[in-house]
Amino acid sequence: MPHFQSAPTIRRFSMLIVALVVGFFFANDALAQSQPRFGGPDSSAPLHRLSYEDISHAPLDTLLRRYVDCNGMVCYSRWRNQCYDVRELEAYLHGLSQVDADLPARREAKMAYYINAYNAMTLWGILHEYPVASIQRIDGKRTQFAIFDDLQLWDGESYRSLNGIENDVLRPLGDPRIHFALVCAARGCPRLRNRAYTADALQWQLEDNAREFFSSHARFHISRITRTVQMSPILEWYRDDFGQTDHEVVSTVFAYLPQQDRQWLSQHCDWRLKYLGYDWSLNDQCPTLAVKVAAIPYHTYSIASPALKRIKTMLSSSDGVAEAVACDAGQ
């Protein structure tokens, strides 16, 4: 004779199963949010592997032309409201995982692949958290993931974060112009091109980026009265890529400076190099009122930070002098 469970027992058992299933999905969702990943080892099966040359960046190109203006500003609010286009960006990122680094490809194709990947991942991270006033807020403390380290893409060999793409893949290639192409969604960043990078156009695109970067007064200018060359702190953060001395740094980017500044530098050697502040507010073309207000402190700090840095240096020097005097007095 079959043994039947009582109704209350069946209900309890059913509720337990439901709880386990729901818990499983929530746990997976939490994991996905804490470390979002695009692609994986299974997505680059042998029959579907492509070289850097064969990866199509056309989907990204279409989206950039749709949502990025000629000044590199992005309309995040409109893009986020278009679910289909958000999914298109995700599909493009997943498609990048089909690459096989062992297949023959030009260096330009590899560079275009990783620059596009970096910029597309950044855009996805901003769209995921929007509205947000700055990428600095996506730090894993105030958000579900830290955008520079937790957001990762499978590149056919390993998962690469934004920091990994920049420091482990692109910088070792030895072309400092990448720093004028990688855009971390801040106003202090280089302009985000509204076209995707391609192997065939890469050299021209990088040259154009560098010239545009130094044409901006917010990123480069010379004070002839004080004989001070002022540059974006990007060249300070990545000093090793531009030169060991101030003159080496200027020499590396000399060809991309405005003509009148090149002429002045050719005639003067007694200048000093200083670095400007960096505006971490979002490169938002159509920000909401809340985003505009929240961005004010970032913009204000970018203006004040060089002076604050000098004050901090002076205070540190004063402390050092005081310690030296105290040591002398004690001897």
Model confidence over 185-197: pLDDT tens digits?
A: 999 999 999 999 9
Q: How far is CA 133 from CA 27, 71, 168, 171, 294, in A?
A: 29, 18, 28, 28, 6
Helix, strand, coil fractions of the chain, as percent rounded to 5: 60, 10, 35
Size of the chain, expressed as the number of residues it contains: 331
Can you tell me the mean pLDDT for 310-323?
70
Helix axes 83-96, 58-67, angle to 10 degrees: 150
Q: Report d(CA 270, CA 22) in Å as an integer.
A: 69
Residue partners of 231: CB distance under 8 A and separation at least 6: 219, 220, 249, 273, 274, 275, 276
Give the model's confidence band at 329: pLDDT under 50 very low, under 70 low, under 90 confident, else very high.
Answer: low
Q: In what order do the strands lie in the sheet containing 228-231?
A: 220-223, 228-231, 272-275
What does the pLDDT read at residue 218? 95
| Per-residue pLDDT at 292 exceeds 50 | yes
Q: How far is CA 112 from CA 2, 117, 166, 179, 272, in A?
A: 68, 8, 13, 13, 35
| Per-residue pLDDT at 287 exceeds 90 | yes
pTM: 0.85
Q: Report d(CA 98, CA 165) in Å as an integer.
A: 17
| Per-residue pLDDT at 262 exceeds 70 | yes
Q: How far is CA 169 from CA 11, 46, 102, 179, 281, in A?
A: 55, 23, 15, 13, 27
Q: How far is CA 110 from CA 140, 152, 170, 293, in A?
A: 30, 18, 9, 40
What residue ranges in 111-227 does DSSP mark as E strands? 152-154, 159-161, 220-223
| Per-residue pLDDT at 13 exceeds 50 | no
Give the model's confidence band at 307: pLDDT under 50 very low, under 70 low, under 90 confident, else very high.
Answer: confident
CA proximity to 192, closest of 92, 114, 116, 88: 116
| Per-residue pLDDT at 4 exceeds 60 | no
Share of the chain above pLDDT 90, in %: 78
Stretch among 92-101, 226-235, 300-309 having the lowest mean pLDDT: 300-309
- Residue 60 in tokens: 């990204």
Q: Report d(CA 153, CA 1) in Å as an integer.
A: 58
Can you tell me the mean pLDDT for 111-140?
97
| Per-residue pLDDT at 259 exceeds 70 | yes
- Residue 231 in tokens: 């540059």
Residue partners of 73: CB distance under 8 A and separation at least 6: 192, 283, 284, 285
Task: Kindly report, residue by residue over 41-96, the tens digit of the pLDDT.
Answer: 875 555 578 999 999 999 999 999 999 999 999 999 999 999 999 999 999 999 99
Considering just the CA atoms, what is the radius of gyration of the chain in Å?
25
Give the model's confidence band at 289: pLDDT under 50 very low, under 70 low, under 90 confident, else very high.
Answer: very high
Q: How far is CA 247 from CA 7, 101, 258, in A?
A: 84, 37, 17
Contact 290, 282 (CB under 8 A): no
